[in-house]
Every structure is written in structure tokens, then in C-alpha cells.
Amino acid sequence: NAGVMQNPRHLVRRRGQEARLRCSPMKGHSHVYWYRQLPEEGLKFMVYLQKENIIDESGMPKERFSAEFPKEGPSILRIQQVVRGDSAAYFCASSPPARTNSPLHFGNGTRLTVT
């Protein structure tokens, strides 16, 4: 019973490159959430997706960041033209298609370093 799988665990990108972070939710979960943890800060909500739909992207930066959760395959968080300030740990979580009081199940995160 695999949990939430994120890859890669660590990602190094030079300024201006693209970063693609992947998240496979737990089996049976159709809701995916992306959170970011900047150095010395807490978890900040970025985006909430269901299959083929973005439900809430109120926490996403307006430029360079995008997310998708296609019908088949993992959810992808894409950061174009990365800058040093994008260096952070990015966590994905999933939950079942049920009441909003279901807990989130988190992956181990992707640590992005921009050089």
C-alpha cells in the first residue's frame, strides 16, 4: 500500500532552467495538494487539484509556476525559468474524494536547489 510518492527527492537547477516535480497520490486518492516550505518558514499552500481540474490555485505565484493532474499519470508542478528564491522543499499531499475532514497524506518532498 504505497504512500504518496514524490520524485525526484533532490533536484538541482541553474537559474533560468525549468524544474518539473512529480507526485503520485496514494491509491484511491483523487485530490492532490502542493505545499512549499521556504527556508526557516512553515508549509504554505500552493495549489489543490483533482483529476484534470485545478480547484484552488490561490497560493500559486502568478508567473512561472503551473500545475497539472492529468487523467493518467502523476501530478506535475512545473517551475519555468527558476530563480534562487525558488529554492525550497516542495511537498505533495493527497486525500480521498470524501468529506473535507479527511487528513492529508504527505509525500517526502522534493528539495529544489537553484544555483
Partner 1 sequence: ILNVEQSPQSLHVQEGDSTNFTCSFPSSNFYALHWYRWETAKSPEALFVMTLNGDEKKKGRISATLNTKEGYSYLYIKGSQPEDSATYLCALDTGRRALTFGSGTRLQVQP
Binding mask 15-54 for partner 1 (x = CB under 8 A): ----------------x-x-x-----xxxxx--x------
Continuous segment of H or E residues that includes residue 110:
strand 110-114
Q: What is the β-pairing status of strands 65-68 and 75-79?
A: antiparallel
Task: Give me the residue label for grid cell 495549489.
Answer: 47
CA distance 109 to 35: 9
Nearer to partner 1, 20 or 44 (CB): 44
Is 105 among the residues that bind partner 1 (CB under 8 A)? yes
Contact code string over 48-67 relative to partner 1, x by CB under 8 A: x------xx-xx--------
Q: What are the strands of the beta sheet with 19-24, ordered from one edge?
A: 5-7, 19-24, 75-79, 65-68
Q: Which parts of this chain interact with partner 1 (CB under 8 A)?
A: 3-4, 31, 33, 35, 41-45, 48, 55-56, 58-59, 91, 95, 100-109
